[in-house]
Structures are given as C-alpha cells and as structure tokens.
Structure 1
Amino acid sequence: MSIRKVFLTFGLLAMACAPALAQTAGAWPSRQPIKLVAVFPPGGSVDQVARILAPQLSQQLGQNVIVENKGGASGSIGTAAVATSPADGYTFAVVFDTHAVNPSLIAGLPFDTRRDLVPLVLVGTSAMVLATHAGSEYKTFADVVAAAKAKKNVSYGSIGSGSLGHLAMALLAKNGLEAQHIPYKGGGPLMSDAVAGHVPLSIGSVFVTKPHIDSKRMRPLAVTTSKRTAELPDVPTVAESGFAGFDAPAWWALLAPAKTPPDIVRRMNEELNKALKVPEIAQRLAGQGITVIGGTPESARTFIDKQIDVWAQVVKENNIKAD
C-alpha cells in the first residue's frame, strides 16, 4: 500500500471515529463514581467542604459523587494521588491553604503544584482568629502588641509548623510583633491547651476556634483577613489594628489533574458554581466560617499562584521547616 493510501485510510478511519469520540467527550460524566479526594482526614474543614458539595454535585451531574479521605503531609499525599490519577474527569482534589505553602516547605514533592494540577474553583475563604483564654491578661490585640514590644516573651500555638497560622504570625513578626511559636498536632490539641490556658494565645480558623468563643471559654482578639468576618463582626482585623494591608486568609479549592480536557474543566467549574449558589449549600459553608467565592478556573489560579508566592517568601525569610 502506498504512503498516500495509508494516510487516506487513516483519514477515513479518523472521520468515521470522530462522531463517536465527540459523543464520548460530550457525554461526561457517563459513569460513576466521581471522586472528591479530601486531602485531610475526616472531621476537619476540608472533609466538611467535600461532604457538603458531594450530594449536590451528585444531584446536578446525575452520577454518584463520593468523598475519599487521603490525608498526610499537610495535604500533599492526597494531592499527589490526584495529580497522578487519570485525567478523565472522575478524580478531583479538595485542598486547603496548605496547598500553597507545601511547595516551599516540603522538599521533594512528587508533583509540580503549578504544572501538574489545574484549579477548578476557589470555594471560599475564611479568617483565622488570634484568640486567648477567658482568664488571660490580654483583653485586646493592642495588649498583645504592647507585650511583644516590651519583650515580655509572648507565645502562641498553631496547628503545626508551616501552617498558615504559623506563617501569618511570622509575617507579623517582620512588622514588629515577635512571638514564640508552639506547634501542635492539629486543631483539637491546640484548642484543648488554649482553653485550659496552657498556651497564652492561639491562632486557628473560625471553624476550629468559634465554638470555644461561643462558649465564653476563649476571647477573640483579631482576625487575619483584610475585612471583618460575618461570624465575628465585632472582632477587629489585624490590618485595622496597626498592621495596614495585612491579609492572611484560610481558603479551600477544588483541583483536577492538569491534562483534564478543557471541556470537562469548564463543565465542572459551571457545576461547582451552580452548587455554591444553592442557598442551603452556601448556608452550610457559612456555618463552617467560609465566605463563598466561586468564579472561573482562571481567577482561582491567579489567587492560588499569588498565595504560593507570598508564603514562599515568608518560609524562606524565616527559615521555617515542616514538623
């Protein structure tokens, strides 16, 4: 068979297959389950976000959407599993703000955060809360600043070395609020010691801190977002308390393997935005202290890339190491 006939044969075969391929691509999702990989263990905010979204997405997509927890190494183990999974629209990652910190904090990540994953949507953001126990000498954030400037050995606890709370406080240290860091193994142990007064200050998400504020066992001093949070409207921001421009939000996003077809990325983004606008979903996320953002994959990428750059500089300048 001549070269010309070979190309002609392949051309005819391609034309014959084109409708079938188009039908297959357009039929997504055509099987189940679709997996949302929550990159932290059950019970935390990442798990909660995934489980709030999964039933709604199941309803919208007409296929079963399940949550699979794959925690470890600040979310990088689960994220690596998604980055290396088939890019066929059936496996997605639900990540936390540590996703932007891990590239500069964890040596030898088995994936490239920017190249191997495509953002689908920024679910939302939340303030972190600097708080103290009810019997503390610190009545306001200004008291903490004054104590730090007077070299009174101010100390605080976070959910771990390299956590966003740790990095936020390191950023404050560069602006005159130096404090000793006491790392904990998660929000539960941190809050237990904070409520008991074993650690003078704690920095954690609204999700982990607010129940203890509501019970009057903790006193909130400041929030880390640029604007006050609806969950704690009377609590000032760090920015309005003498640190202009300070903004360190916690955040949640969904990602897909980088080679996921653009049509699937676009469709999943549309479905996620639709889900986030359902009043019950928005209300349940608000109950976790999350302000819903949504938007395009491009806006999510812009946000995440900026977070990667900001925290990489903080990690480097402060020589921060992972636990």
Structure 2
Amino acid sequence: MHRRSLLALAAASFATPAFAQAWPAERSIRIIVPVAAGGSQDIVARLLARHLTEALGQNVVVENQPGAGSNIGYEAASRARHDGYTLLAGSDSLSINRTLFPHLGFDPVEGFAPVARAVRVPQILVVRADSSATSLQDFVGATRRGPVAVGTPGNGSLAHLLGEQIQAAAEMRWTHVPYRGGALAVNDLLGGSLQGVMINIGAVTDHVRAGRLRGLFVSSATRAPGLPEVPTLAEAGMTGGEAVGWHGIVAPRGTDPAIIARLNTAIGQVVARPEVAERLAALGLEPVNESPDALGTLIRADASRWAETIRRARIQPD
C-alpha cells in the first residue's frame, strides 16, 4: 500500500479517540427537550443540565422544542451533528411514536444512540379522595355499572396505552378522555367532571400526599418510593400489565461511543447525588443507573409492545 494511504489510515484510526478525548472543550452542549417547559420531563432535563455543567466542565443548556407529539424536537435532534454537542431528552414516547406516527421522516427508535435512562416514571390511576372506588376492583365494577370517564395526557400517551391494555385484560370499558397535557386532566378530575385519571406519577404525587386524590395502583413491579401506600398493579389484582415510563438522554445516531460512555457515567453520578435524589423523590420519580445497552434494549422492546396495542385499539394521535 502506498505510504500516503498508510498515513491516512493511521490518522483516521486516531481521529475518533482524539476527538472524544477533547470533548466537550469546544463549545456548550445543548439538550433538546421535545415538550413545553414545566412538566416532569422538562424538570428532569434541567436538573441533569445543571449538574452536568459541573460534572463535564462545560455549559449544558436546555432548548425546548415542543409540538407534534414531541416529533418536532425529535426530528431536530435526529438531524443534528453526531458530535456530542446536541443531545435529546428522550422518553418512552420514542418507542410509541414509531407506530403512532407511521410517516415520520426519521426513525425514533433506530435514529438515536441510547445514553442513559435517568429516571423511571411509573404510571398511576387516581380518583378523587371522596370516590367510592377504594381499589382497582371497585373501579372495574363501576365501569360495568355505568359510564366512567378516565382522562389521560393524550391519545397515544403511555398512560392511554396502558389503560387500553388494562381494559382488555379486565374485560371492561371506560370512556377515554384525552387531554393536551396532564395538568388539565387532573384539574377536571378534581373538579368532578372525570371519574379517574391515568397519568405519570410525578403529575399527581403532591395531590395524593395531600389527600385530594387517591391512587388505586402504580404500574411498576414494586411500589413507588414516593407513594409507598399505593399498591402495584399486581397487588391490585392484575398481573402482567406492568409498564414504566422513563426520562433520560439519547444522542443522534453515530455519536462516538466514548462520548456516550462518559455521559452515561456522569448522569449516573448525577442522579446518585443526595440533593438530586431528594428532588426526584419529591416528584415521585426513581433514579436509574444502567448502561446505554440496557436503555437500547428497553426502547426496542417497548416499540414492539406498544405497536401491538396501537394497532389493536386503532389509536390515532391527537
């Protein structure tokens, strides 16, 4: 082989490690958040950004790009340079959106490199504290006696899909009322125009703790540390229906594995900090420290699981 070609190969073989070693000295890192400010996904992203700034020695900023079921932010991140300076605040909707929005110009599952699942986000079914339903079985019975309206954060949300699975398993039906965000659904439940709300635990933890709402189950395999009095779905009488959402970080596909490994380590250290763990616990969220491969496995498994539910129930996006 020509000497010049050998030199080119040698230079190429060292280019990626050298770049990864220098990262992130060049400029600030941005985290695209595909939802509006204020919700648990945004709060977690901002918490990570603040502490990653210290951990990485580089400014980490949050950029909200909401809309189109998170797909505006997702697409922007998928088309960004895979140089480690653009990250995405990912969630379970990456798996859901692949089937819910079949004509996207990008693949929400394969278009990203998993970095870290920072927190687990159990779902919860809540009713008003004065409701006659004190258990899931009571609630199932109520749906068989007459119309029962259950709100969710929207068509195709994890809460909606889990609700469809539970209804099929229990052979009962409620009236699904989709909202554009969970806060409005919770307000209507408190006001009495809904009989229940299925939602991520962080949206209602304060209401349950204050005695305004009652949790009938959480969707995780074990009880949520933030609401230990609420039974799991299995304890409430239904097995095999566990479904836990997540908030974390992914990167554009092709991002250097060394950068991903460094980010994964840093995020694991951040969520283990006592002050961060305390903030997450206040939201009812559970910190997670696991590998990028584990997150990738979860994303692909959920994509398969929810595709079946979406097709069977003929779910359409808002």
Establish whether residue 304 from structure 1 lines up as the match of residue 299 from structure 2. Answer: yes
Contact 1:133–1:196 (8 Å) recurs in 2: no
4+ residue segments displaced more than 4 Å: 13-22
Tell me the TM-score normalised to structure 1 length: 0.92
Note the 1:209-220 alignment, pairs <5 A: 209-220=204-215
Tell me if 1:164 matches 2:171.
Answer: no
Query: What's 1:259 paired with?
Result: 254
Q: Verify: 1:182 aligned to 2:177, yes or no.
A: yes
* Partner of residue 138 from structure 2, selected from 111, 130, 143: 143
Q: How far, CA to CA, are the matches of 2:235 and 2:16 in structure 1?
A: 56
Partner of 1:241: 236
- Once residues 200 and 141 of structure 2 are traced to their aligned partners in structure 1, the CA distance between those partners, rounded to angstroms, is 24
Using the TM superposition, give the Cα deviation of residue 96 of structure 1 relative to its aligned residue in structure 2, in angstroms.
2.2
Given residue 272 of structure 1, which amino acid in structure 2 is its aligned partner? I
- Aligned pairs for 1:35-114 (under 5 A) are 35-114=30-109
Q: Distance in 2 between matches of 1:22 and 1:126?
A: 35
What is the CA-CA distance between 1:317 and the residue it aligns to? 0.8
- Whole-angstrom distance in 2 between the partners of 1:279 and 1:223: 24
- d(CA) in 2 for partners of 1:46 and 1:120? 16
What's the offset of the Cα at 1:234?
Answer: 1.4
2:167 equivalent in structure 1: 173
**Distance (whole Å) between structure 2 residues aligned to residue 120 and residue 69 of structure 1:** 19
Greater gyration radius: 1
Q: Offset at 1:94?
A: 0.6
Partner of 2:20: 25
State the Cα deviation string for residues 35-68 of structure 1 (Å, max 9, x = none): 1111111001111011111121111111111111
CA distance in 2, matches of 1:40, 1:318: 25
Contact 1:130 1:203 in 2 (8 A): yes
The CA deviation string for residues 147-204 of structure 1, in whole angstroms up to 9 with x for no partner, is: 23x3422221111111111111100111123211011111121111010111111111
Inter-CA distance 139–22: structure 2 relative to 1 (3 Å threshold)? closer
Residues matched between the structures, number:
317
Say which SS state the counterpart of residue 29 (structure 1) adopts: coil
CA offset at residue 250 of structure 1? 2.1
Unaligned runs of 5+ in 2: none
Amino acid at match of 2:172: L
The letter for the 2-side match of 1:99 is: L
AA at the equivalent of 2:43: Q
1:177/1:127 CA distance change after superposition, 3 Å: farther
Are 1:96 and 1:251, in contact at CA under 8 Å, matched by a contact in 2?
A: yes
Q: Distance in 2 between matches of 1:313 and 1:51?
A: 33
RMSD over aligned CA atoms reads 1.8
What is the identity, as a one-letter code, of the residue corresponding to 1:263?
A: A
**Runs of at least 5 residues in structure 1 that lack an aligned partner in the other structure:** none
Among the aligned pairs, what percent are the same residue?
Answer: 32
Contact 2:150/2:177 (<8 A) preserved: yes
How far is 1:246 from its partner? Answer: 1.7
Aligned to 2:129: 134
* 1:115 and 2:117 correspond: no
